[in-house]
Structure 1
């Protein structure tokens, strides 16, 4: 259990163990759950359970039109072009598959789900583990070297590279600054339009 692991590691998480025999105040319990969820998001925990909870919340917000998915301006034209050339496009995100489908299904540009051939989340493995990328390659029926993986996280880039994938690091406004070593090691792009069509996507 994640909460028990946090306590073992002395991580300062706002979680409280309550004996089953003790009657708890519902409002207090709700407050503590909300506090813990906010803490998990603040530390950017890649928890499948947290992502599922976020998915439930997002579903309600997307369905009612309170929120719409945002995509960078270069994304739709680039993916449309790639698909016109017969390339397949998949999403691999720490966000759940459901959350991905909500974001792209209810975007400011309408339903974009037809742009993608499939979705993967952390159920296939953590994004910083090379085995996850091997699993994806096997699942989609490709050799790793036929795939190009786009990410803005260099730890993910390294894991994908270790699995034999081609990698490009996408630099967007607000992203974490790359070190000189990372800039020299990885292919860096600032727009999807910079990708050529010669490799797999």
Structure 2
């Protein structure tokens, strides 16, 4: 069941949308856009204007398509659509809503499936590379300096202390931003991985290594 976050001010429209979603087997999610777990966010203009920064941060750190569907009276040049994937105008056309939800959620699902396959491929490459580099400090240094794999040095407090160019290109930051201390791995981590990160930190502190599974 797909999870839908309703960031809509209380109104008859919000109630009607909520009831329609429940009838069509969507799960309604409560919470703030910056922390709630959801597959798609339905949002109105006041909430978008207020929470845009949090939404943009969340979309950037999710490493996956996190769709945002704006519900508004009319679409005009004054509306800032940054962070918005689709727009649906009031009064709601329920068939249009179904089509937009289906398309956005399907795109998210396809991207997640592709990323899962890509993660498996990259994990296999990493294991092969590190097996070949065991005990070979010179080879490891050359790999760090190359553009093949992203490397990062960080601390347990969330700071990224150093990174190679491949990693910076992957996350879209510059080396000057890195030197200025503007990049933190804890802010880049999606909420669903917080607990796993905590477990990894404990394992590293106790055993100096952690399980990848």
TM norm structure 2: 0.27
Structure 1 or 2: more strand by fraction: 2
Larger radius of gyration between Structure 1 and Structure 2: 2
Q: Which has the higher contact order (CA 8 A, sep 6+)?
A: 1
